[in-house]
Chains A and B, each alone.
Chain A
Amino acid sequence: MKKKSSKQEALEAEAISIFREVVATSTNPVMLYSMGKDSSVLLHLAYKAFYPAPIPFPILHVDTNWKFRDMYKFRDEITKKYDINLIVYKNPDAVAQNINPFEHGANHTDIWKTEGLKQALNKYGFDAAIGGARRDEEKSRAKERIFSFRDKKHKWDPKNQRPELWDIFNTKKNNGESFRVFPLSNWTELDIWEYISDQKIPIVPLYFAKTRNTVIRDGMIYMLDDDRFPIEKNEIPKLRKIRFRTLGCYPLTCAVESDAVDLNAIIEEIKTIKTSERNGRKIDSDQDSSMEKKKRDGYF
């Protein structure tokens, strides 16, 4: 088996140290979990950081009711495997109003995820929320700190961030204020895949290419996961060999055609691919600076 590279070792040691710093300096931390590949890596690192103790914080999934079925199945398996305290939170307003991506467009993400997250953080009084965002994902994330301060309203002020020197983190805050913490800040998409491969970390099967039922809409490939997907008259469902590079809410996440059925093939594909990872995410392209705007409002 291939040995971990010195780069992987350095990234792993850095992430573990960030986890330990959060637990040592906050009173009520939580880890955000979305069943995606980055979440899988994050969970694995949390397990390593505190071994032989169980992971010393709850795992929060801010649910939208609109994840792929495979993702829910995977979540239940993982909860058992890692012996974690999983909290699933759904924004009751979104449940009541049946908010969905087809009728509500961009509001779907805002109400389920951004508002849902803020409600959950308030409800449980979490003062540090660990997430799997990476700086290479998107332009405004490239500007993000590792320990990123949030005011009482969970707002991010990108122009007034605390300087982050060496590996000394200013974790001081007043009551009601909090931090978003990003242990994977310095990882790239390829680093994630190589680490998953090296550590044999379980991931949702949707990442691997398989023949699945799809339609094409606005040039993007949508997978038909259940009968909630309204098919237009001119759309003909077709079997295609596809996989997901990134997993979010269905149907806000689009698939790519691919033959990559295993990790080695995925790694080769990532090395040569010509589009960016989040190209399959509709929420990023609503308007310029879309991610920055969402982040300012409290999105992860």
Chain B
Amino acid sequence: MNNINAKPQLRFMTCGSVDDGKSTLIGRLLFDCGEVYDDQVQSLINDSKTFGTTGENIDFALLLDGLSAEREQGITIDVAYRYFRTKNRDFVVADTPGHEQYTRNMVTAASNCEAAIILIDARKGISVQTYRHAYIVNMMGIKNIYIAVNKMDLVEYSQKIFDNIKNKFNEYANKIKLERFEVLPICAITGENLNAKSKNMSWFSGPTLIEILENTDNLQIEQSNTDFCMSVQYVNRPNLDFRGFCGNVIRGELVIGDEICVLPSGQITTVSQILIGDKSADKASKNDAITICFNDEIDCSRGDVITASKNRMQISDQFNVQIIWMSEQALIPRRNMVMKIAHQSVYASINPPDFKIDFTTLGQLATKTLNVNDIGFAKLSTDKPIVYAPFSECPKLGSFILIDKLTNQTLAAGLIEFALRRAQNIHWQLSEIGRNEHAIQKSQKAAIIWLTGLSGSGKSTIANIIERQLFEMGHHSYILDGDNVRHGLCRDLGFTQTDRIENIRRVAHVARLMSDAGLIVICAFISPYSAERELARSVAQEGEFIEVYVKTLLETAEKRDPKGLYKRARSGEIKNFTGIDSPYEVPLSPELIIETTTHSANECANEIMEYLIENEFIKPC
């Protein structure tokens, strides 16, 4: 590409079930873009006669299936990379195998692509593989997803069939929160809606596939944090006078003289020299392959992370992770494996998985292990603390592979969701004014009132009455409830067990910060698991946590059903609904139990107000 202003090269992948026509699609794209040379056309014509599956026509798939086993069997086994260009842009396309047993190759391709085309055979419609592929490309952070409904010629170019598939996919996309995707009808073998609009589908007004690809932005996961960060790949020490730390810039910029911090040791120094390749530079930017020299002789080796000193990265040794299992040999929980994350190499083990994903329903399946091609969530521990970032914030420090210690096979790929605890070198910012001073100023003692109970038990109603009463008495309070935190703070979380735990963890910490400010915090959450309520209690200051069990009969709650949720859960529309198909663990020793089946909301609120007065959180009027 000569035009430096043009869009950068786009790496995209194709996926779909066996025989959906992936290889044909790519072969056709290459052919239409003039990327197939004359001698290749000749060998293609010869091959089509021998191996072809398209009768008299040229079998474009044979351009791609490069392994002899693939040609004999007429299937794609391994990822093939092809390079082509239109007059507007350069492309790399990864052709990935469709068969379920090669899902791991698809994950591999997805890890290095910026867009994905998912093919659907118009005759067959959406399959489990479609769901699996959409889930995987989304999970792997691909932000541009195109659903190509292929073989439209075999369904007489029917708009109705296309619309049905499109609507069904839309539903699924909503469930997995796909941000950007487009659905278009194509016919790969004839090239319709690839490079040229189809005359047979004049009912479709959208752009062709090539137009879509040419205009695709190279969206990757946005990195809101732009502080400099680089993983040390290699230490270059040719002689006593030179010691350079080599790597590619993960994010941000580095300028000579900048203060940097080496993690995990935490040592700080400044930059004396920057080389980009063999050239000295004043400044390095994202993706540059650089060598850095320091002004001080500090310890730094492969795997360490160099970062802008003002904003250190996180360090931990326990994580919630998403795992894509790739080995025929199933996961053995708690067995040590080699973990590679950026250039760090440590030993890691996985607890029995929390659950694995059912791709069709997105439900959680209980499991004791993970088998090849399973995707599950689990806790992972490392033998020493590592520098990391959640995958959603920084893929390069949030993605890893697991390797068998004996066979050296790659067992799994993984994404860090969040750390379960942080190493101690992250210090609290101490404020000059203490929590007691905050509270005294407000003529109250800070408290966290934690209302737990079934959906529809009356938590929110009671919380609002308390808040009104406190307000009228001149107190300072705030309500945290499921709905208001899920709009922002916890917008990224669903209702799986892991997500619920994370949701509560965040709420607990926010509640603690608010109580530090002297507020009376009223939390209204179903919080069905006693473990998470205990977590919330442990985060709070001793003595300020008031667990209130809002007790009601399931039948009563279901009869109230203020948001119509029970009805939807009973019909199977909502999964993991507490009380229906997900358990509620009754609190064993709460500070208060209030019965909403037999008492009105006002009576219940008064009980809580009395508790606050009796325990001197507030004074009576």
Binding site for B on A (CB under 8 A): 2-3, 5-7, 9-10, 12-13, 16-17, 20-21, 23-24, 47-54, 135-136, 138-143, 158-159, 161-168, 170, 172-174, 185-186, 188, 194, 273-276, 279, 288-289, 292-293
CA distance A168 to B37 in the complex (A): 34
A165 and B68 form a contact (CB under 8 A)? no
Q: CB of B258 within 8 A of chain A? A: no
CA distance A207 to B534 in the complex (A): 74
CA distance A162 to B395 in the complex (A): 21
A48 and B278 form a contact (CB under 8 A)? yes
CA distance A135 to B340 in the complex (A): 26
B234, B275, B289, B399: which contacts A23 (Cβ < 8 A)? Answer: B234
B37, B66, B338: which contacts A292 (Cβ < 8 A)? Answer: B66
CB neighbours (8 Å) of A279 from chain B are 37, 39
A13, A158, A185: which contacts B288 (Cβ < 8 A)? Answer: A13
CB neighbours (8 Å) of B82 from chain A are 135-136, 142
A172 and B408 form a contact (CB under 8 A)? yes
- CB closest chain-A residue, reference B327: A163
A52, A140, A163, A186: which contacts B242 (Cβ < 8 A)? Answer: A52
B67 and A53 form a contact (CB under 8 A)? no
B78 and A158 form a contact (CB under 8 A)? yes
B234 and A165 form a contact (CB under 8 A)? no
A47, A173, A185: which contacts B408 (Cβ < 8 A)? Answer: A173
Given that A2-B2, A6-B4 are known contacts, is A170 also in contact with B340, CB under 8 Å in the complex? Answer: yes
- CB closest chain-A residue, reference B38: A274
CB neighbours (8 Å) of A274 from chain B are 37-38
Q: CB of B287 within 8 A of chain A? A: yes
15 A/B residue pairs, CB under 8 Å, sorted by A? A2-B4, A17-B247, A47-B278, A49-B277, A50-B236, A53-B238, A142-B81, A162-B409, A165-B399, A165-B410, A165-B413, A168-B401, A170-B340, A172-B408, A276-B40
CA distance A151 to B242 in the complex (A): 37
Given that A7-B8, A54-B238, A136-B83 are known contacts, is A275 also in contact with B66, CB under 8 Å in the complex? Answer: no
- CB closest chain-A residue, reference B405: A172
**Inter-chain pairs besides A20-B233, A23-B234, A142-B82, 10 sampled, C-beta below 8 Å:** A5-B1, A54-B238, A136-B82, A143-B80, A159-B78, A163-B108, A163-B326, A170-B403, A186-B83, A292-B68
Q: CB of B77 within 8 A of chain A? A: yes
Q: CB of B302 within 8 A of chain A? A: yes
- CB closest chain-B residue, reference A140: B66
Nearest 3 A/B pairs, CB to CB: A139-B66, A53-B238, A51-B278
Given that A6-B4, A23-B234, A174-B408 are known contacts, is A165 also in contact with B80, CB under 8 Å in the complex? Answer: no
A163 and B413 form a contact (CB under 8 A)? yes
CA distance A53 to B64 in the complex (A): 41
CA distance A159 to B396 in the complex (A): 28
- CB closest chain-B residue, reference A278: B39
CA distance A54 to B485 in the complex (A): 57
B302 and A24 form a contact (CB under 8 A)? yes
- CB closest chain-B residue, reference A274: B38
Query: How many residues does chain B have at the interface if contact means C-beta atoms less than 8 Å apart?
Result: 68
A13 and B289 form a contact (CB under 8 A)? yes
Given that A16-B289, A51-B275, A168-B399 are known contacts, is A24 also in contact with B233, CB under 8 Å in the complex? Answer: yes
CB neighbours (8 Å) of B277 from chain A are 12, 16, 48-49, 51
CA distance A170 to B80 in the complex (A): 19
A163 and B104 form a contact (CB under 8 A)? yes
Smallest CB–CB gap between A273 and chain B, Å? 7
B37 and A276 form a contact (CB under 8 A)? yes
CA distance A52 to B243 in the complex (A): 10
CA distance A274 to B47 in the complex (A): 19
Interface centre among A12, A158, A170 (most CB of B within 10 A): A170
CB neighbours (8 Å) of B37 from chain A are 273-276, 279
CA distance A9 to B242 in the complex (A): 26
> At the interface, is chain B mostly helix, strand, loop or mixed?
mixed
Smallest CB–CB gap between A21 and chain B, Å? 6
CB neighbours (8 Å) of A138 from chain B are 66
CB neighbours (8 Å) of A163 from chain B are 104-105, 107-108, 326, 410, 413
A292 and B67 form a contact (CB under 8 A)? yes
B9, B38, B68, B401: which contacts A170 (Cβ < 8 A)? Answer: B401
CB neighbours (8 Å) of B343 from chain A are 24
Q: CB of B142 within 8 A of chain A? A: no
Q: CB of B261 within 8 A of chain A? A: no
- CB closest chain-B residue, reference A8: B1
A5, A48, A161: which contacts B4 (Cβ < 8 A)? Answer: A5
A170 and B236 form a contact (CB under 8 A)? no
B:63-95 near A, CB below 8 Å = 63-69, 71, 77-83, 90, 92
CB neighbours (8 Å) of B275 from chain A are 51-52
CA distance A7 to B1 in the complex (A): 7
A165 and B401 form a contact (CB under 8 A)? yes
- CB closest chain-B residue, reference A22: B234
Q: CB of B341 within 8 A of chain A? A: yes
B78 and A161 form a contact (CB under 8 A)? yes
B4, B65, B289, B399: which contacts A17 (Cβ < 8 A)? Answer: B289
Interface centre among A9, A164, A168, A276 (most CB of B within 10 A): A168
Q: CB of B525 within 8 A of chain A? A: no
CA distance A16 to B302 in the complex (A): 16
CB neighbours (8 Å) of B359 from chain A are none
B:153-176 near A, CB below 8 Å = none
B2 and A5 form a contact (CB under 8 A)? yes
CA distance A121 to B2 in the complex (A): 40
Smallest CB–CB gap between A37 and chain B, Å? 17
CA distance A170 to B237 in the complex (A): 25
CA distance A292 to B78 in the complex (A): 13
B92 and A186 form a contact (CB under 8 A)? yes
CB neighbours (8 Å) of A293 from chain B are 68
CB neighbours (8 Å) of B248 from chain A are 13, 17
CA distance A158 to B80 in the complex (A): 11
B:492-527 near A, CB below 8 Å = none
Given that A2-B2, A16-B289 are known contacts, is A275 also in contact with B39, CB under 8 Å in the complex? Answer: yes
CA distance A274 to B36 in the complex (A): 8
Chain B 217-238, CB-CB to A under 8 Å as 1, else 0, gives 0000000000000000110111
Smallest CB–CB gap between A272 and chain B, Å? 9
B9, B81, B395: which contacts A7 (Cβ < 8 A)? Answer: B9
A49 and B289 form a contact (CB under 8 A)? yes
Smallest CB–CB gap between A289 and chain B, Å? 4
Q: CB of B400 within 8 A of chain A? A: yes
Smallest CB–CB gap between B278 and chain A, Å? 4
CA distance A23 to B302 in the complex (A): 12
B68 and A288 form a contact (CB under 8 A)? yes
CB neighbours (8 Å) of B64 from chain A are 139, 142
CA distance A277 to B409 in the complex (A): 35
Q: CB of B246 within 8 A of chain A? A: yes
B399 and A140 form a contact (CB under 8 A)? no
Smallest CB–CB gap between B351 and chain A, Å? 22
CA distance A168 to B83 in the complex (A): 22
B:405-426 near A, CB below 8 Å = 408-410, 413
CB neighbours (8 Å) of A161 from chain B are 78
Chain B 288-302, CB-CB to A under 8 Å as 1, else 0, gives 110100000000001
CB neighbours (8 Å) of B400 from chain A are 168
- CB closest chain-A residue, reference B287: A13
A164 and B108 form a contact (CB under 8 A)? yes
B:235-255 near A, CB below 8 Å = 236-238, 242, 244, 246-248
